[in-house]
């Protein structure tokens, strides 16, 4: 099996895996803000803005895990990560690795990639598209 055959065969599945893992990470951050689970030692006090972010991350992550409304949800979550980076991390310095913002930057661009490329074959969006497509 050549490398191009392997790429053609497994790229759609890895796209779905990227979506699921990014969604799980988003949900984890959302549940930390909403329910203090998993618990954060020495957590910063939460504001109303953190509560809104927690809802976006929890609900958006849940929908993204299953691949439902994937493109708009991924775009919203990507924007939320960009906002989080510039609000929380960038004021502390220019380099994300020094400010703890590297995860926010990585998630922002991974989610932007998912918004542009779609959810992959292992999603409710793909299932819906297969069912509603007229048969030839």
Within a domain: 103: yes
Within a domain: 41: yes
Within a domain: 55: yes
How much is the pTM? 0.90
**Close Cβ partners of 47 (under 8 Å, ≥ 6 residues apart):** none
Within a domain: 63: yes
pLDDT tens-place string over residues 65-76: 999 999 999 999
Number of domains observed in the structure of the chain:
1
Within a domain: 87: yes
For 41, the domain range is: 14-121
Handedness of CA 100, 103, 106, 108 (dihedral sign): negative
Is a pLDDT exceeding 90 seen at residue 136? Answer: no
């Amino acid at each position: 099996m050549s490398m191009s055959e392997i790429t053609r065969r497994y790229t759609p599945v890895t796209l779905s895996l990227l979506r699921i893992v990014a969604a799980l990470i988003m949900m984890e951050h959302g549940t930390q803000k909403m329910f203090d689970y998993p618990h954060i030692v020495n957590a910063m006090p939460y504001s109303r803005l953190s509560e809104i972010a927690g809802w976006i991350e929890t609900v958006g992550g849940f929908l993204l895990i299953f691949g439902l409304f994937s493109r708009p949800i991924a775009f919203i979550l990507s924007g939320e990560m960009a906002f989080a980076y510039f609000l929380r991390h960038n004021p502390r310095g220019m380099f994300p690795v020094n400010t703890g913002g590297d995860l926010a930057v990585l998630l922002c661009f991974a989610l932007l990639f998912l918004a542009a490329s779609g959810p992959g074959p292992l999603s409710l969006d793909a299932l819906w598209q297969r069912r509603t497509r007229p048969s030839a």
